[in-house]
Every structure is written in structure tokens, then in C-alpha cells.
Structure 1
Amino acid sequence: MRLAFRLSLIGLALLAAPTALAQGAPDAARVAAARPVVDKIFPVGTYRRMMDGTMSKMMDSMMDGMMKMPIAQFAHIGGVPEEKLAALEESSMEQISAIIDPHFRQRMKLGMDAMMGSMVDMMDGFEPKVRNALTRAYARKFDGKQLGELATFFGTPTGDLYARESMMMFMDPEIMSEMQALMPEMMKKMPEMTAKAEAATKDLPPPRKVADLSRQERGKLAKLLGVEASVLHDAPVASDEGTE
């Protein structure tokens, strides 16, 4: 139950997509006027500049912070009752991993760097679509006169510097420091956030089990999953159900 709520938070960002699609396409003249503006504010290679090196350092700092967090906080987020956490108050992931896997931090660092390298390469290929979408967004937000004024400003030394660095400012050490500090605080708040999500949906009926489905519904579900209907069955009750 708790795990389902935490996983459902991942999809919240997708809610903005229908709104954007419903706004309609901007006219061609404004798109043309927006393109040089986006060329300045989001030049080719922006994602690589943002992610290559800077993101790796940020992830390292976040990992260091999480390794030092009391293991009781992780257990609490996982639904372990308060009375069972007292003995864990002084323990940290760093202390435990030093015994179980002395190379854990190095393993995570190497793995994260490898993943980040692949992510940078992937974003290189994805960036043109983002630039096109950003061009349409600017064309929708600003009229031709405003886009011309932006282009004029970006043609000045100060405007050119601002345009080139505006996206990179989000990776500035000052901002990264605050974002890193947010992670432990967010993890502390996670049980409270999960409880509020559960309270908000408590009057809804629970999700149906496979056994509750009609033969037709079971067949449709099997087709969507690409399996035979005969293999569908209800999963065993999760162990954290008893902690609700």
C-alpha cells in the first residue's frame, strides 16, 4: 500500500502534458522569430554542459548525504513502526556498508558515472526535440515584437552572456548545495506525505484483484500484458500490509 503511493508520485510530472498539447500550435511567423532566441538561450550541447561533470558531482554529494543519514529514517519511510526504530537511531548506511560491502561507495560511484555517461549520450540525441519544443513554447508565450526585443537583448554582450548561462545557473554550486540539502529533509517528510496521500484516498474502494475480474476483463488485461489469461493471478499480500 505505502509502496504503491510512493511509486505513484513518480508520475505526477506527466500531468502537465495534456495541458501543453491542448494549447494548439503557434503560427509559423512567431516560431521563426522564436528560433534565434532559443538558439541563444538553449544552444546545442546545453544538456551535455549541464550533466557532464556537474551532475556527477551533485549525485556524489547527495549519495554522501544519504550514506550518513540514520538507517532509522530509511526504515521509517519503509513503514517500520516507531517502536521498532529505537535500536537503529545511531546506525547509518555508511557504518553498515563498511561491514557488508567495504567497496559499496566506490561501486556506487563507478556505476553512477557509467549511467551518467549513457544519460549524457542519450540526451544529446533527445536535445533537438527539446529545442523544437522550447521554440514553440517561446512562440506561444511571446508575440513577435517581444521575441524581437529578446533577440536584440541577446545580441548585446550582457544579453549574450545571460542567454548562454541562464540554463547553467541551475547547476551553480550555490543552487546545488540547497538542492542537496533538500534530499534529507524530503526523506524525513516522506512518511507524512505518504500518510496524507493515503488519507486523501481512504474513501475510495481498494483496487480490484484478478479474482474480481470478469472473464472478459481478464482476457483484455492478459492481452495488454502480452500473456495468457491463465497465468494471471493475485500477488501474495505484501508484508507491510500489517503495519497500516
Structure 2
Amino acid sequence: MMQKIMAPMMDSFTKMPIRDLLQAGGMEADKADALNPATIEEIMAILDPNFRKRMDVMLNTMMPALGQFMGRFEPDMREGMAEAFASRYNAAELGEISAFMKTSTGAKFGSGFMELAADPHYLGKVQAMIPEMMRAMPEILQKSVTEMGTLPKPRTYKDLTPAERQRLEALIGLDSKKVTQ
């Protein structure tokens, strides 16, 4: 399922003009707009003619491996999902959901629910959104940067009291004689 989701997203990403990506990364809009509308795909076709194949290999090897890895955690994830349902629905509502899931329509819905995220109809909408999201990122990030600017700066080791230094040293296993001030 992840391959079905990631492949179109990566494809959409490589078709984005690099200037959009650079602007999302913080380049000023006027400087980014002055750049040519070259895409990652166009540039990589020159630098690495096998770029697309490399991306396919990566997706086709990583996703099954991640699936195996995640499979080890499925029992915990099921438990977490049960807890999430229990925190959102009361006993009567859970009973209604359970009754629905026992119907043929409920069983069909339940068995394919997670796969909806990989449906081409849905993925097409997600793909169409990515370039716009990348254009919006500078403004979105700026709000975070502005808000972070209102917070006090993190303390340095020199700012800590002797007790805080001792606690930090114990937590991360530092030898106080070797700590640079």
C-alpha cells in the first residue's frame, strides 16, 4: 500500500520546478521566481540518466522491508487503534460500529478502509495539492519561525546551575572532568 502512495507522490515531487522547492526551503520569492522552471526530473535526466530507475529500486526494496518491519508492531498498533476507538466512542456507539462491521457492507468497508489512502482517486487529489503546498510552505514556516522567536533561547551548558549540570551529566553519561565549558 505504501508503494501505491509513495510512487505517485515522488513522481509529483520530481515534476515540481526546483524554484518552487527552493522557495519552500526559504529562498525569497523574487529570487526563486527569477530562476528557470527546470524540474528535478529534467535536471536528474542529465546528471543521472538512471535516476528514475534508482527511485523505483528504492521504493520497490524499501517499502516491502518497511512492511516487514511494521508487521512486527501490528499487535501494538491494533491495541493502539482499539484504545483510540475507545477514547472517541462510548460503549453504545462501539456496539453500533461493531454491528455495522458484521454486515456485508461493513465487512467490505473494514477490509478496504486503510487501502483508501492508496486509491488513485484520492492520490490524484493529493498529487495535485503538493505543488500548492510547497508554494505555501514559506508562509507556513515563517509563522513557526516568528512564534519561535518569542520564546527564550535555549540554555547552554554554561547557563546551567551546578545541580543541573550534574543531573545532565548523569543523564547522558558525561564525565564532568571532560566537559568543555
TM-score calculated relative to the size of structure 1 = 0.62
**Displacement, 1:77?**
2.5
Partner of 1:79: 26
Residues 4 and 118 in structure 2, CA contact (< 8 A), matched pair in contact too:
no
* Match of residue 100, structure 1, among 44, 47, 57: 47
1:208 to 152, 155, 173: 155
CA distance in 2, matches of 1:127, 1:146: 25
Q: Distance in 1 between matches of 2:39 and 2:77?
A: 40
CA distance in 2, matches of 1:184, 1:83: 18
Determine the structure 2 residue equivalent to 1:132: 79
The aligned amino acid for 2:50 is H
Supply the distance in 2 between the matched residues of 1:120 and 1:188 (Cα, whole angstroms).
32
1:208 CA drift (Å): 2.9
Q: How many equivalent residue pairs?
A: 180
2:14 aligns with 67
CA separation in 2, counterparts of 1:101 and 1:226? Answer: 45
Task: Check whether the contact 1:70–1:91 (CA below 8 A) recurs between aligned residues.
Answer: yes
Look up the equivalent residue of 2:118 and give its one-letter code.
M
Secondary structure at the residue paired with 2:65? helix
- Please say which of residues 178-187 and 224-233 is displaced more in the overlay: 224-233
Which one-letter code corresponds to 2:108 in the other structure?
L
Q: Deviations over 1:183-209 (max 9, x none)?
A: 222211111011111222323222234
Whether contact under 8 Å (1:222, 1:232) holds in the other structure is no
Task: Please say if 1:196 is aligned against 2:169.
Answer: no
Deviations 1:34-89 (A, max 9, x none): xxxxxxxxxxxxxxxxx2xxx21321211121112111122223323345435523
Given candidates 177, 183, 192, the residue that maps to 2:130 is 183
Q: What is the distance in 2 between the residues matched to 1:189 and 1:198?
A: 15
Give me the whole-angstrom Cα distance separating, in 2, the residues matched to 1:171 and 1:86. Answer: 33
Q: Secondary structure at the match of 2:71?
A: helix
Unaligned runs of at least 5 residues, structure 2: none
Give distance in 2, aligned partners of 1:94 and 1:232.
46
Asked if structure 1 preserves the Cα contact closer than 8 Å seen for 2:17 and 2:38, the reply is yes
Which amino acid counterpart does residue 123 of structure 1 have in structure 2?
M
Change (3 A) 1:67 1:152: closer
AA aligned to 2:64 is G
Q: 1:204–1:102: structure 2 CA closer, same or farther, 3 Å change rule? A: same
Distance 1:104 1:214, change over 3 A: farther
Deviates more, 1:212-221 or 1:61-70: 212-221
Find the residue that maps to 1:138 and give its secondary structure.
helix
Report Cα offsets for 1:3-42 as digits up to 9, x if no partner: xxxxxxxxxxxxxxxxxxxxxxxxxxxxxxxxxxxxxxxx
Structure 1 residues 141 and 77 mapped into 2: Cα distance closer, same or farther (>3 Å)?
A: closer
1:121 aligned partner: 68
Secondary structure of 1:88's aligned partner: coil
